[in-house]
Structure 1
Amino acid sequence: MKRLTHDIKFPTGKNKYFVWIFAICIYCLAMPYYMWQLNYKPFLIICALLLTIYFEKINILDKVFFGFSMILLYLYIGIISNWSLWGIIYLLLIIPIFFAKNKFIKQSFDLYIFIFSIMLVPSILQFIFVSILGVDMPHSTIKSLNAEKIGIYSRYLFMVSYSGGEIQLNSILPRFYSYFDEPGVVGTISAVMLSVKKFNLKSWINIPIFVAGILSFSLFFYLTTLIYLFILVKMKYKLVIIPALALLFILFSESELLKFHLIDRLDFNSNFVESFINFRNESGFQDWYSNFNKTPQYFTGMGAGYSSIVNMGGSSYKNIITDFGIIFFVTYVVVFALYAIRTLGYSKELLITLLVLFGIMYQRPFIQDLSYVFLIYAPIAFFKEETGMSIKRSKDERERRI
């Protein structure tokens, strides 16, 4: 068991149950299928209360600036969206995460990884039996979490599958949804967790997460893995891994599976950069957006939910700009980035944190959702606490030598 989880630091002491409860609630807020018909607000309230218990004494100017900037930005969301007082209060339940102790956030993130990984094991096994081996297992249909989805979800005990009405899906291995409504959820969470854990596959607890990311065929997961490899991995490993990956790509470049799930989702035959920027948007939205960015509302936004009308089914950073304006978008990203720089310095950990920030803002810009805000903010607190622990261990070792 120790070898299985040696990369996970389990909380100890009288408050360990609070950390477990918070991690479980964050997992539930990621909306696995058994949450689709439930009210998520009680879980959000529990998270906010637990975070309030672990408020950190603020005596650092950077933390004060960051925290109160977030308060103002989230107040702006409520005001520009013309929400009721209760709506704004529920939105502000996100704020306590920015004032919680780094130790609590780090412990919660470790447990979140543990819960996510353990839940993936039976899900991956059932996916292999159902989607690869063709074993017929008991299942039922379930109402979609997202009303914009017109296909059918089949609910198994440890996974869901989605039929979007595409004939090709019958002959090609489907993407891995696990318990969630989109494979991109699996890919995004997996990419963030593995990046923060520095793709440490020596820890067995990270292996199901890695496998799930691969099976999700999430572009974010694959691109994050490649970026991490090219920028952050030591050269001696690059010399082995990069040629191996290049050979595999050449061998399987004509694979129908690879083309359908990855290559064909980006248009490599025309303007690749433009295709990459816009592939998360629905057809027709770009024409609307080209006109929108010439109006005054481009700076202030149209209010929460407007992007779901003009970009129905799409999900990109342009959703935030549409809803809350370019000024809000730039301010939110800059405030987060500056706090990360001031907290972590110019380090490898900073690069990982910025990769997570820009990646989530680009393709899953759900900044009103605590589960995604947690994924953005947790790496900062995690690395800050880990660095502090490393410094303390080094100091203790020096003192023992003396």
Structure 2
Amino acid sequence: MTFLLLPDDNQIYTIKIYLRLILYLFVPGIFIYILINIFNVPHLTYVRADKREYENYYFLYYSLSTVHFRFFSIFDEPGVVGSLSAMVVMYYRKFLSKREYIAFICAGFLSFSLFFIVTFPIIYYFSDIRYIPYQKRVKKLFTCALILVVFYFSFILAITQFINNPIIQFGIYNRFKWENGLIVGMVNNRDILPGFDESYTSFVERNEADLWLGKGKNSVADEFGASGLSYRISIYEKGILIVLYMLGLIILMHPWHRQFIFSLVSVIFILMLLFQRTLFFKIDYFSLLFIGSGIITKYAKKENSTYNTEP
């Protein structure tokens, strides 16, 4: 709420400072990332509340011993880097310098985030859609639909050709739901907890007050010994009313009357983002989405706005 009460220029300035701070922290992170993939580098052991152990390198880089090849930066999950980079690619193409923008793209790929890798071609393609004439926006929309159809069948053909490769099978094939040789959905691996699937199904079928109001914060961890990031966990803990409230905020913060096609694409992107990492109310996620999807559009062409000035 404090952030939202700031004048628009100050909100945009805050985002610019935040993105550059993260970018500067990528620099030592990349250096450490290279070192730990070559040498055995001394580190501290950080144990999270859920007992998961991480390697902490000089308080500037995290990693798990089994996935040194994934870029973590200062976060305890490489998927955070992938999600953050995806938001930058989608909304901040004209906000950062070309060098800064490319650095976030590189970080996204080094994180080996499946979400970033799969969505990158699409979100990059649409990243300039609010700055081009209306006719070109419509053309982009239909061109993308055609490309997606071609990509869908090409992707299926490529995956099935390498199905016997254990890395492809584990890292890509098993992440999708298959039916008659076609991809029909994503496997939700964010709430694989013993007993949760059955409890969630019963929770929804009963349709009692808890379904609308939720069972309360940390109820999943209390009942199942661990938690995760999943839309089902959000419904279980917060209830459908809060989820609908969140969806309402997402819709309202877009400039539908001025940028309908951009807003439509942006909402789809946010729903995909939150499906695999439900952190809408986390301050940095919310700020990046709120500014990127709405306010920044009004300032992009103002020569003297904070958008175009160095901090």
Q: TM-score, normalised by structure 1?
A: 0.59
Q: Is the 8 A contact 1:343 1:384 kept in 2?
A: no
Deviation at 1:259, TM superposition (A): 4.4
Corresponding residue for residue 337 of structure 1: 251
Instruction: Verify: 1:159 aligned to 2:61, yes or no.
Output: yes
Corresponding residue for residue 175 of structure 2: 265
Which of the numbers 295, 300, 316 marks the counterpart of 2:207? 295
Deviation at 1:391, TM superposition (A): 12
Task: Kindly indicate which of the two structures has a greater share of residues assigned to helix.
Answer: 1
Q: Alignment identity in percent?
A: 24
Residue type matched to 1:222 in 2?
I
Mapped to 1, the partners of 2:34 and 2:257 lie a distance apart of: 43
Mapped to 1, the partners of 2:94 and 2:231 lie a distance apart of: 26
Give 5+ residue unaligned stretches, structure 1.
1-94, 164-168, 393-402
Distance 1:96 1:173, change over 3 A: closer
Residues 97-246 of structure 1 aligned to structure 2 (within 5 Å):
97-131=3-37, 134-144=38-48, 147-150=49-52, 152-157=53-58, 158-163=60-65, 169=66, 174-198=69-93, 203-229=98-124
Q: CA RMSD in A?
A: 3.7
Deviation at 1:226, TM superposition (A): 3.6
Distance 1:388 1:258, change over 3 A: same
Deviation at 1:99, TM superposition (A): 2.9
Distance 1:124 1:305, change over 3 A: same
Q: Is the 8 A contact 1:360 1:376 kept in 2?
A: no
Q: TM-score, normalised by structure 2?
A: 0.74
Mapped to 2, the partners of 1:104 and 1:232 lie a distance apart of: 23
Give 5+ residue unaligned stretches, structure 2.
129-135, 306-311
1:267-319 deviation line (CA, Å, top 9, x unaligned): 4468854544x332214322211111123111121122223345633211222
Q: Which has the larger radius of gyration?
A: 1
Q: Which has the higher contact order (CA 8 A, sep 6+)?
A: 1
How many residue pairs were aligned? 280
Which of the numbers 223, 227, 236 marks the counterpart of 1:322? 236
Mapped to 2, the partners of 1:200 and 1:220 lie a distance apart of: 23
Task: Kindly indicate which of the two structures has a greater share of residues assigned to strand.
Answer: 2
Residues 252-401 of structure 1 aligned to structure 2 (within 5 Å):
253=162, 257-268=167-178, 272-273=183-184, 275-276=186-187, 278-283=188-193, 284-293=195-204, 294-296=206-208, 297-310=210-223, 312-342=226-256, 345-348=259-262, 350-351=263-264, 353-387=266-300, 389=302
Distance 1:329 1:267, change over 3 A: same
